Structure 1
Amino acid sequence: MSASKSRWADEDPETEAIIAQQKREKEEKKRAKAEKQRQLDEAKRAQDTAQTDNSAQAPNGDSGPPKKRRRLSNDPDATADDEVPGSEKQAQKKPSTLLRFPVREWGTCRHVDNYERLNHIEEGSYGWVSRAKDINTGEIVALKKLKIENSPDGFPVTGLREIQTLLEARHQNVVYLREVVMGNKMDDVFLVMDFLEHDLKALLDEMREPFLPSEIKTLLLQVVGGLDFLHSQWIMHRDLKTSNLLMNNRGEVKIADFGMARYYGDPPPKMTQLVVTLWYRAPELLLGADKYGTEIDMWSIGCIFGELLTKEPLLQGKNEVDQVSKIFELTGPPNSQIWPGFRSLPNAKSLKIPSNSSSLSGSLPLLPRSRFPYLTNAGLGLISELLALNPASRPTTKQCLAHSYFREDPRPKPKEMFPTFPSKAGMEKRRRHHTPEAPKRGQEAPELDFAGVFGGAPGGDSGEAGAGFTLRLG
């Protein structure tokens, strides 16, 4: 006999029929209740979806607040829907997890004693650079101690800018800042950076012959590539020169020394005109411009290009007046056709432009072929654009990288094929460069008189007539 069958079934068929009928009714009620619960769940989901759509369409809250608080993923309190037995949410319910993302945390700097200083390399305008070894890993690094002693306002803004920009400028052609370490005093602040064996200025001084054309292209592409990344991050370097371009024995070049770098905007804000080392300073800065953009970096690239070609700095002025005269000797005098609005610059009012210079064409003039006898026409066009007097005529980094000069023969040499050079930084102090130092922060721009630039009156502080040359036109 079945366990579910009544023991009186055989004796009373009527009772058995009644029991079977009750079972059917009970099962019917269960199915109706489950169907009703399913409909309630679907109605609630539709209502939640409608409230979400209304909130998206009326972010100011015109549709009123939601009737129930939405449960977060890490909310330990379960809602009523999750507690309903047999519901879909109960079946899909999983333990809540809190997602965590790696972020920088505040902490103390490591001590400089974690590094063993090996030898001094050189002194710059904003710090002393030494070669050091990480005691824990044995890696060789560059240790730069910031100059803080003569800063009247506490921590120098140049150091803050250098740290900030280097932390943001993560690029293969920008020197890598590993960390900032401290000494025993608050004035002992050190930047720990990757060590590179050479700088381009020291290499050019030691080389018997300049770099090959294919090597110059490779060097320029790397420098302009790194500068393109900086400009895309709204960072101006403002002190590009060959001594600030480091190179290792694998042919890799990295931009260094960000003491004068700063963020800028569009339109650029009012800034100091006393930036960039004199021999690499753009003419608009020398004429007193206090609003400028990335064009000043492109002028410095043009000076570096010329230095790579000739092994000597292209424009070696004794002072600001002499520097302006050497620029105009190379490019020709400015006029309103090739440089509109230059007369509005503060120091341009004293310039006495020769009368016959106004007849020059308004097109961009090429630099004299005699200064770069082995340069191709495309190369001469590129350096002429980079050293254009009018900042608006200079190419951007992207335009420079796409120039036909880099696509003609000889093609850029692969970095792996670059020659190696003995490292001066690894053995002894680098030879002192015979170049002017970068301007120091807080230094006031001198009052300049450019009346004698084109001859006839003493120029600069050396008393040389016409700052050392007479301009010939035609």
Structure 2
Amino acid sequence: MSTAKSRWADDDPETEAIIAQQKREKEAKRRAKAEKQRQLEAKAQQTQTPETNSHPANGETGPPKKRRRLSNDAAETTGSDADAPEIAPQKKQSTALLRFPAREWGTCRHVDNFERLNHIEEGSYGWVSRAKEITTGEVVALKKLKLENSPDGFPVTGLREIQTLLEARHPNVVYLREVVMGNKMDEVFLVMDFLEHDLKTLLDEMREPFLPSEIKTVLLQIVGGLEFLHSQWIMHRDLKTSNLLMNNRGEIKLADFGMARYYGDPPPKLTQLVVTLWYRSPELLLGADKYGPEIDMWSIGCIFGELLTKEPLLQGKNEVDQVSKIFELTGPPNAQTWPGFRSLPNAKSLRLPSSSSSATSSGKIPLLPRSKFPYLTNAGLSLLSSLLALNPTSRPTAQQCLSHAYFKEDPRPKPREMFPTFPSKAGMEKRRRHHTPEAPKRGQEAPQLDFAGVFGGAPGGDTGEVGAGFALRLG
């Protein structure tokens, strides 16, 4: 019988030999596969039970008595294991599921996993210590929350601090690693990254203030972290130099979120007793209960001035004295510079000089006195004056502040790699207490204030002190 010739093949004998060899190899593979299949079927017939072998004697193998189950659940299998002895091991193996790492709810670790090295400082909402994690040897900051005066359970200040720190993952915000517990329910600790310095201590110990390029580097990091908070609808509400931490690589991080709070638009009704006194905005002092991130920008202006002079810019003895010092620096408010300020609760007792009504109505933000900041450029004075504007709506946002011309002029911000380093005190990180007011505590009621004596009138009604002891002369 002649083999059919491919119509693609030519008369070349070598080509025909190659095609014939390929056909023979393909036929050999087909026969091997058929032989293997027959061996498997013969083996399956030998392992069947007597019930299964009782088929007709004509040699035909009928269908199996039971169909193989493909379920992973062994409980779904019916009948005896003898029906499918070869399948049982496969079912046991198929129940092993792949597991992927994921966040799960679990118990907090114990504080005994950390060795406390030394106490650092005490704040309004907790005690901060330097500690070392025993397993890794890494140094961390351990903050114990103050829960003694919380008869109603866990304080909302602690919950807000934990919530906002977990949401505020930014290079210029202190990093919350975890929450650990002590032996009692009122022993709650926050484990955070440890930074060697706080800005207040550095300013007190430095012989000379920061250079203009260094001030820009510090301020850009502070405002950068604050811009991220505001983009997440979070107000810090206690910005001050002692709550700004710095490491030996020139990195600034915002810390102490005990008074932080989410806000909305329009802003909700909030307590006016927030922000440490020296960094508190005038609208809060005058009793505003609806405010937004503008109060943080006022605190940024106070910090900016402190970086320039190495001293807190507005050091009032009480609320009345603080308002006096603010108006001494910025001038008294009027209908042009701060429309609607008379509607604030505490502004009703404020007696303004008669000459204040004749102030300029150009609508521009008045510049602060040049004599107070002799080495500041015109762009820098413009930025500082806008941050310390009496009218909250006239203050720039954090995003606008970052794009200000002050940061684009010479000298440019110094790179962090070239930032000066300050020696760490190793085991002596206890920061000495400064003669500065503490942040307001939750639950305090705002006092009834009388600002009649701010401009040299009758003494204030709260403590009997006469403001800052000065009288403004305008015109």
**TMscore range, shorter length:** 0.7 to 0.9
TM-score under structure 2 length normalisation? 0.78
Match of 1:364 in 2: 365
3-state DSSP of counterpart to 1:465: coil
Code of the residue aligned with 1:394 in structure 2: it is R
3-state DSSP of counterpart to 2:297: helix
Residues 292 and 102 (structure 1), Cα distance of their counterparts in 2 relative to 1, 3 Å cut: farther
Match of 1:52 in 2: none
Residues 462 and 373 (structure 1), Cα distance of their counterparts in 2 relative to 1, 3 Å cut: farther
Match of 1:387 in 2: 388
3-state DSSP of counterpart to 1:458: coil
Q: 2-side partners of 1:185 and 1:402: how far apart? A: 49
3-state DSSP of counterpart to 2:192: strand
CA contact (8 A) 2:448 2:462 kept: no
Match of 2:84 in 1: none
Q: 1-side partners of 2:345 and 2:467: how far apart? A: 20
Q: Is 1:409 aligned to residue 419 of structure 2?
A: no
Code of the residue aligned with 1:472 in structure 2: it is R
Deviations 1:18-74 (A, max 9, x none): xxxxxxxxxxxxxxxxxxxxxxxxxxxxxxxxxxxxxxxxxxxxxxxxxxxxxxxxx
Match of 1:283 in 2: 282
1:456 CA drift (Å): 2.0
Q: Is 1:247 aligned to residue 269 of structure 2?
A: no
CA contact (8 A) 2:321 2:466 kept: no
Code of the residue aligned with 1:408 in structure 2: it is E
Q: 1-side partners of 2:446 and 2:397: how far apart? A: 28
Q: 2-side partners of 1:415 and 1:267: how far apart? A: 38
Q: Give the gaps of 5 or more residues in structure 1.
A: 3-74, 77-94
CA contact (8 A) 1:288 1:345 kept: yes
Deviations 1:341-388 (A, max 9, x none): 110000000001111111112321000001101000000000000000
1:423 CA drift (Å): 2.5
Code of the residue aligned with 2:359 in structure 1: it is L
Equivalent positions of 1:25-424 (< 5 A) are 103-361=102-360, 362-424=363-425
Deviations 1:268-288 (A, max 9, x none): 111000000000000000000
Match of 1:14 in 2: none
Q: CA RMSD in A?
A: 2.0
Q: 2-side partners of 1:99 and 1:396: how far apart? A: 49
Code of the residue aligned with 1:454 in structure 2: it is F
Residues 155 and 202 (structure 1), Cα distance of their counterparts in 2 relative to 1, 3 Å cut: same
Q: 1-side partners of 2:445 and 2:113: how far apart? A: 39
Q: 1-side partners of 2:101 and 2:446: how far apart? A: 46
TM-score under structure 1 length normalisation? 0.78
Q: 1-side partners of 2:365 and 2:422: how far apart? A: 39
Residues 99 and 381 (structure 1), Cα distance of their counterparts in 2 relative to 1, 3 Å cut: farther
Deviations 1:317-338 (A, max 9, x none): 0000000000000000001111
Code of the residue aligned with 1:397 in structure 2: it is A
Q: 1-side partners of 2:465 and 2:147: how far apart? A: 38
1:420 CA drift (Å): 1.3
Q: 2-side partners of 1:136 and 1:460: how far apart? A: 58
Code of the residue aligned with 2:379 in structure 1: it is A
Residues 101 and 296 (structure 1), Cα distance of their counterparts in 2 relative to 1, 3 Å cut: farther
Match of 2:27 in 1: none
Q: 1-side partners of 2:233 and 2:466: how far apart? A: 42
Q: Give the gaps of 5 or more residues in structure 2.
A: 3-70, 73-93
Q: % of aligned pairs identical? A: 88
Q: 1-side partners of 2:351 and 2:334: how far apart? A: 11
CA contact (8 A) 2:449 2:462 kept: no
Code of the residue aligned with 1:300 in structure 2: it is S
Q: 1-side partners of 2:204 and 2:239: how far apart? A: 18
Q: 2-side partners of 1:101 and 1:291: how far apart? A: 47
CA contact (8 A) 1:279 1:313 kept: yes
Q: 1-side partners of 2:289 and 2:100: how far apart? A: 43
CA contact (8 A) 2:142 2:192 kept: yes
Match of 1:26 in 2: none
Q: 1-side partners of 2:99 and 2:326: how far apart? A: 57
CA contact (8 A) 2:407 2:413 kept: yes
3-state DSSP of counterpart to 1:379: helix
- Paired positions, count: 384
1:99 CA drift (Å): 10
